[in-house]
Structure 1
Amino acid sequence: MELRHLRYFAAVADTCHFGQAAQQLHVAQPALSYAIRQLEAELDVTLFTRTTRQVSLTPAGEYLQAEAARILGRVDDAVDGVRRIAAGRSGVIRLGLTGIAAFSHLPRIARMVKRELPDVDLEISSDMLTPAQCDGLRALSIDLGVLRPPVVGDGIDTRLIDVEPMVLAVSVDHRLAMEPVVSVGDLRNEMFVMYDSRDSAVNDATLRTCHRAGFVPQRAHRAPGTAVLLALVAAGMGVAVVPASIRSLPLEGLVVRDLVDAGSVELALAWRTDQDNPVVDAVGDVIAAAFGADVTTGAHPTNDVYLGESR
């Protein structure tokens, strides 16, 4: 059974008039009549009762009318879905995020994707370090990553979406908690809480910041993740130099202070160099547009969540 014949049948069944159906379908009436006879011959049934005055459906025709509406509706939905996917307007995107980007960047990402691409669903994997995201991209377990450059290995392209300063996190009863601005040199004799991963971009930025100030930070504790790191700092177990977006995750007993001479860290959108999924392209464009206005200065809109991440 050809879809063309099914569409012809549906038009005649809806109008019960071959002439009107032919006009709707933009085909000649003899060709339409011939197609219906072919369909009846193929099914070995009579679908229409024809007289000189009227055309009506037989019981078999009534059944096929309902089924044809369902089948053609599914076909039309499938065609529409395929076209939306091909245009990057529909599908599922698996997104990896590093550190607390799930708290600081994800709200804007999810909001923008929902607004611009309402038929695209996001599947989120959070707290993934840059190497894990790069491995995930190459293994096809994630489609896009929000990570700290540089990437690890080949086959990954990136686009900068945010730049933010490093700040100081201390406990509320720390000697520097009451200082509005702190210098990195003031941390020379402090014990530090840092991430336990050798691949942490934040650790690297902290080491560079301290080296520029002429000292090597003393590690008191190693934290497996941002939540533990902040909890240890709030408990007075040490200080931490982290991205300014730490402010998006307030914690009782924790104070964040500006570091006047600290460096900055970057956040980038990453994808496979050889990927050819138009939905990935579309979501990537939406994310880049969401943050692009802030990339050059590292500034953040005052009417939105303070952006960034800390691992």
Structure 2
Amino acid sequence: MGDIDLRHLRSFLAVARERSMTGAGAALHLTQQAVSTHVRNLERSLGVVLLVRTSRGVLLTPAGEELAAGGAAVVHDVDSLAERVRAVAGSQAGTLRLACCPAATSLFAVDTAEALEEAVPGLRVTLKGARHPRHELELLDDGQADAAFMWLPVGDVGLHHAVVRSDPRAVVLSDRHPLADRSTVTLADLADDPVVRPDVLTSPEAERFWIMDPRPGGGPAPRGPMVPSVEDCLLEVARRRGIWLPPRPLETLLPAGGLRWIPVTDGGNFDLAVVWNDRAPQPLITRLISEVRILTGHDQRLHAA
């Protein structure tokens, strides 16, 4: 005996009500042939005869009468469950506040906000610009934001995260650097170049990741000057005071003359994540992660890997 297909059960119940295949088809906006096929499949699945056809319509067998009596309650329960699920999904009105550094998330933050508001009636999504990653943590900590978009690692700061995008690493060089004409480089090629560090990262762990310390051979990464902002990194690199090792997409968001952005073949990826704390509305965070991953194609890339 197989499982009962809900579509087949609905067709049978319509036949039981109408006492006619044609009438059931009209009620369900299906052809008479489709209804007949559904009933035959249901009979085959249950291993019983449910109805017999006569010149004046159809008659239910005792098994058919039993299924008609109990099946209506099953369909009603399923429909009620579906309504409750939709009601829960649609009742999450209010405001979801997202902190983001424009350089990290401008490619999809607006699309994410609009997709969420469309998917959850009554929801308002606000985007709160942060000056740098440390500022994002401040907004989360003092309750001004429910979640943030941040590149990992953040450090041991008591937050939850879910990766929504992965970006390859690049090196930013002066166009007068000896490697400026290369199409790709390795970390070994950059072993002697000091790495510029923006004083905005959230932890020593984050700083080590951004400068790739230690290097693959175990040696330390040469530390270059510490500068106040991401934009200042570009100025220092242009003046040949060091290199920078950021995520590749920043090239389109931080244009600057006199520089080369070159892929680092063994530099690994930066993971961009939704980050939140225990006070955040978990159902909305779950929906946020889903919508962002759709926009960035993160899940599809994982499945293709």
Residue equivalent to 2:302 = 296
Task: Specify every segment of 5 or more residues in structure 2 that has no aligned partner in the other structure, as ranges.
Answer: 1-86
Equivalent residues of 1:94, 1:123 under 8 A apart? yes
Does the 8 A contact of 2:166 with 2:269 survive in 1?
Answer: yes
Letter in 2 for 1:248: T
Distance 1:110 1:86 in 2: 16
Once the two structures are superposed, the pairs formed by residues 260-279 of structure 1 within 5 Å of their partners are 260-276=265-281, 279=284
**2:229 counterpart of 1:225:** yes
Count of residues in correspondence between the two structures: 214
Code of the aligned partner of 2:209:
A
Aligned residue for 1:174? 177
Q: Higher relative CO (CA 8 A, sep ≥ 6), structure 1 or 2? A: 1
Q: Assess if the C-alpha contact under 8 Å between 1:100 and 1:226 holds in 2.
A: no
SS at 1:182's partner residue? coil
| 1:65-106 Cα shifts (integer Å, max 9, x gaps) | xxxxxxxxxxxxxxxxxx999623x54332112472143443
Residue 222 of structure 1: SS of its match in structure 2?
A: strand
**Alpha-carbon distance between aligned partners in 2 of 1:99 and 1:218, rounded to the nearest angstrom:** 29
Q: Quick one: structure 1 residues 86 and 294, their matched pair in 2 at CA, closer, same or farther if it must change by over 3 Å?
A: closer
| Whole-angstrom distance in 1 between the partners of 2:260 and 2:118 | 35
Matching residue within 82, 94, 98 for 2:97:
94
Establish whether residue 128 from structure 1 lines up as the match of residue 141 from structure 2. no
Distance, in Å, in 2 between the alignment partners of 1:191 and 1:179 is 19
Residue aligned with 1:262, SS:
coil
Deviation of 1:169 after TM superposition, in Å, equals 0.6
1:246 partnered with 2:250: yes
**What does the per-residue CA deviation read over 1:156-204, in whole Å, with 9 as the maximum and x for residues that have no partner?**
3211112222211111221111011111111122232112246356532
Q: Does 1:257 align with 2:257?
A: no
Change (3 A) 1:215 1:276: closer
**Of 182, 187, 199, which aligns to 2:202?**
199
2:4 is aligned to none
Instruction: Name the CA distance, whole Å, in 2 between partners of 1:252 and 1:107.
Output: 28
Give the CA deviation at 1:209.
5.2
What secondary structure is seen at the aligned counterpart in 2 of 1:238? coil
Would you say 1:211 and 2:215 are equivalent positions?
yes
In the TM superposition, what whole-angstrom CA distance separates every residue of 1:211-243 from its partner, at most 9, and x where no partner exists? 214432333321222111122212322111111
* Structure 1 residues 188 and 278: alpha-carbon distance in aligned structure 2, compared to 1, 3 A threshold: closer
Contact 1:202 1:243 (C-alpha < 8 Å) held by counterparts = no
- Alignment RMSD, CA only? 3.3
Q: Relative to structure 1, is the Cα distance of residues 239 and 255 closer, same or farther in structure 2, using a 3 angstrom cutoff?
A: same
**Map of 1:137 onto structure 2:** 140
Q: C-alpha displacement at 1:269, in angstroms?
A: 0.5
Alpha-carbon spacing, 1:279–1:286, altered in 2? closer, same or farther (3 Å): same
> Matches of residues 49-68 of structure 1 in structure 2 within 5 Å?
none
1:109 aligned onto 2:102: no
Q: Structure 1 residues 91 and 235, CA, compared in 2 at 3 Å: closer, same or farther?
A: farther
User: Runs of 5+ in structure 1 lacking a partner?
Assistant: 1-82, 300-311
Matched to 1:192, the amino acid is V
Question: Residue deviations 1:127-181, cap 9 Å, x none?
Answer: 332x543443243111111112345433x32111122222111112211110111
**Length-normalised TM-score, structure 1:** 0.58
